[in-house]
Chains A and B, each alone.
Chain A
Amino acid sequence: MDFDPSSDYPLGWRRPDLVRTPAGTPLAELTLAAAREGAFGADELRATPETLRRQADVARAAGRAPLADNLERAAELASVPDGELLEIYTALRPGRSTVAELERWAAVLAGYGAERTAAFVREAAAAYVERGLVR
């Protein structure tokens, strides 16, 4: 059955069939007993980009476009390693980066397929130049 963002929320409650871990384990198989047997590890217990996109669809269907945009960025960032995530955050802080450095981070993001977030960083760079917030 197709996903309907206006009626399938909460996903974990109404559409567990659509929810999987990054390694593909279905939600129904995520039990404490299975964890005890080592069927999956802690790093499996996180949302996939697909699930985050579905949450973005839910938010959009509920009329919350900025929240949907945020969750779409989150979907993209799900595959960016923790360390780089924090480095990009630091780079976006005021006076931390040159335009070229921000452009490099945008390119890194694009490399992870995070096109929307890359555009977000480029947009920030343009605003920072206007407001003297680049290094």
Chain B
Amino acid sequence: MTSSGRFAARAEKELRRELLVSPWPELGLVAANGPADPEPELVLADGRVVRLDGRAAADFDVIDRFLVAHGLDLEVAPAAMALPDVELARMLVDVGVPRAELVRLARGLTPAKLARVAGMLDPVELMFALRKLRSRRDPGNQAHVTNLKENPALLAADAAEAARRGFDEMETTVGVARYAPLNALALLVGSQTGRPGAMTQCAVEERRNLELAIRGLVTYAETLSVYGTEPVFADGDDTPWSKAFLGSAYASRGVKVRFTSGTGSESLMGHAEGLSMLYLEARCVSVVRAAGAQGIQNGSISCVALVLSVPGGTRAILAENVLAAWLDLEVASGNDAVASHSAIRKTAKLMGQFLPGTDFVTSGYSVMPRRDNTFGGGNYDADDLDEWLTIQRDWQVDAGIEPVPEDEVLRVRERGARAVQAVFAELGLPPVTDAEVEAATLGYDSRDLPDRDRAADVEAADTLLARGTSGLDVALALERRGFGDVAEAVFAMQRHRVAADYLQTAAVIEPDGLVRSAVNDPNAYLGPGTGYRLEGERWELLQALPHVLDPARVGGGPSPGDTVSRGGIVDEGGAASRGNDAAEVVVAVGPAFGAEIRETINGLDHGEVLAAICDGIRAAGATPRLVRVRRAADVAFIAHDAALLSGSGIGLGLQSKGTAVIHRADLEPLDNLELFGMSPLYSLASYRAMGSNAAGYALGQRVGPVPTELDNYARAKLIVRTTLLHACETRAVVPGAPAVELALAAAPTAVR
């Protein structure tokens, strides 16, 4: 077979590092509506469930048994299960059906029914359903905060920045398990420096995790994984009962708990039992609700790339988020593990959660560069922040991250690092040096940080645990070292444990200490004009990116309030008349040329541009004559007016931004001999060539067009400047005014 250059080029793209496979239902490699998925079924006898989704009671596995015992609301179930699939699916996208009614019905639906109904929705319908079903009014986001060196100053600085950027929660973990208390401590101190109320967790083994929580060093946990088949659940060394018990144990210690599940895990672990990913996830979310969790982290999470390998994978992941929200759970919707090598592909996937908004649009946005993300995450990282903020601004969508100016970021980073330095000193931990603080504040990643004595750190971590150091001790240490505000914030996090308000669904903590959750700030979306919308102050904040420019300050001309006077580029004379010289080329510039605007869009000085054109005309044997057209800003009319004034009938029109046209008097104004529309690409040599060609036409010679280049990105890059420059030129138009003679001022832009 002959090979195609284009196929070969595509095969080299990053995207093609990933395998796509056709469905193989026997291995669970099917996204939704698998051929072996059971028919939805619920049969009751004497108030007991005797059949569930294709199984008789005697054959119920441990998941079925748990759902029957704690999940299904048998008062709702008969009526809910009797509703046709399509009717339920339509209710999900019917703006007139309130969330509360859908949540009520979901209590009586079996996993097969849930999967079947969600599987009927197309991507836009799923997004709309998610918008409607989210439990809390407004969306939020969660950050990942880790680094390869487990440097406490850097952890604190990153946590401080994450909190300052508006992340409601942030998660760290450990490379070396013994580091857990130090990392948790750094995150606690850093987060409360950035914004009081940000919640933190340290993802470690359950026993250690609970210990950190009891000490008040962390406030939430999301390590409780569940699976959709009994063998995988057992391989995960748990049962629904053990996980539910653990959830209650955490809650008893005042820890906010979110379970974790996601499509693809059963297939990856080899026991999908021939069932589709979405059906198995419906079982998971049903177990999570039955266990009494307030929320779930789902959306495939770490298996995302496996789910994306099969047809409909992205849609199935969105559908599982919808199922979790439908079951009234807080949803942290994935988007943390790298979904694809392709930026296009992974962002297309992201939009499913980004646009409707979930409680946590990502389960971990990497606030540091991906290289330092020890979760193996970093689907979006520090380097992508401007893109994320810009996409929020583009769509007018709140996806939970705020723009913050650089000086403010540096201020909170340094203060976070200083605060943890103070706590380390006060608690007798190995010192954090000023050099570490500085590098943590300003550096790119952990490679910029000096190495610490890691043996001393892990030893200190053990001591910290052995001494029973608590969040209260941390607050007191901060206060003694003069970090009064951070001390108060850390103390407030301890105090929250007493009221335990953040155990309710989708709770976040405001800087003033108000706990907001689905209880006191529920999503009441019922279509346009209702629910959370990005508007007012919040919209002002999210559109004001630090690199956004004041349009009045863009362009080559003087800005409002700019009183600096600059030397003249051109001198104007009297009204121009038609010339008699058959060897002349009239060069006409636009109304603002050399005055309000002084350089082309490519940054070429207007005096030098004119000189180059004249030079080209003369070199080709013709004579240049300069005029300014004042009645029009359009390059076609400027050029045509030039041609009408020219003794040869040939004119060259030049807009201030640098666009040029060679025209002839007998042509229609919008016709031309040559158009030079790629002004961002032109050098002085280009303008010289234009002059030379114009002279050629005037002298009746054969003229080959000036070679033009093409930059397909020029428009994206420069259309704003083009618009602003053209607006400036248009403002300088004097309607009906005749063209005037023009001469190049002698200095400072003399002909070279």
Contact = CB atoms under 8 A, between A and B. Distances in A.
Contacts of B475: 32, 35
A86 B207 contact: yes
B751 interface: no
Interface stretch (B314-322, B498-506, B611-619, B635-643): B498-506
A77 B292 CA distance: 15
A94 interface: yes
B505 A19 contact: no
Interface string B459-493: 00000000010111101100100000001100100
B479 A63 contact: no
B286 to A, nearest CB: 10
Interface stretch (B17-25, B250-258, B268-276, B429-437): B250-258
Given A86-B207, A120-B241, A70 B291 contact: yes
Majority DSSP secondary structure for residues of A touching B: helix
A125 B241 CA distance: 9
A2 interface: no
Contacts of A52: 251-252, 500, 503
A58 B519 CA distance: 8
Contacts of A82: 210-211, 214
Interface residues on B, range: 35 or more
Interface in B211-260: 211, 214-216, 230, 233-234, 237-239, 241-242, 244-254
A113 interface: no
B498 A93 contact: no
B504 A59 contact: yes
Contacts of A69: 70, 292
B476 A36 contact: yes
Contacts of B513: 12-13
A127 interface: yes
Given A45-B495, A77-B252, A86-B207, A66 B500 contact: no
Interface in A24-80: 27, 30-32, 35-36, 41-42, 45-47, 51-52, 55, 58-59, 62-71, 73-78, 80
Interface stretch (B58-66, B398-406, B703-711): B58-66
A21 B104 contact: no
A39 B230 CA distance: 50
Contact of B494 (A12, A42, A76, A117): A42
Contact of B238 (A10, A65, A93): A93
B293 interface: yes
Interface in A75-133: 75-78, 80, 82, 85-86, 88-89, 92-95, 117, 120-121, 123-124, 127-128, 130-131, 133
B104 A63 contact: yes
Nearest to A21: B498
Interface string B164-193: 000000000000000000000000000000
B252 A80 contact: yes
B747 interface: no
Contacts of B359: none
B71 interface: yes
Interface string B510-533: 000111011110000000000000
Nearest to B478: A32
A32 B499 contact: no
A92 B241 contact: yes
B737 to A, nearest CB: 69
Shortest beta-carbon contacts, A-B, top 6: A70-B292, A12-B499, A42-B470, A124-B241, A74-B251, A92-B242
Interface of A: 9-13, 16, 19-21, 27, 30-32, 35-36, 41-42, 45-47, 51-52, 55, 58-59, 62-71, 73-78, 80, 82, 85-86, 88-89, 92-95, 117, 120-121, 123-124, 127-128, 130-131, 133
28 contacts: A10-B515, A10-B520, A27-B495, A32-B476, A32-B487, A42-B216, A42-B468, A45-B472, A45-B495, A46-B253, A47-B252, A55-B501, A58-B504, A62-B518, A64-B294, A66-B289, A73-B245, A74-B248, A74-B251, A77-B251, A78-B252, A86-B210, A92-B239, A92-B242, A94-B238, A121-B241, A127-B62, A133-B62
Given A94-B233, A124-B242, A131-B65, 13 more contacts: A11-B500, A12-B495, A12-B501, A27-B498, A41-B472, A42-B472, A45-B498, A47-B252, A47-B499, A63-B328, A66-B70, A85-B249, A130-B65
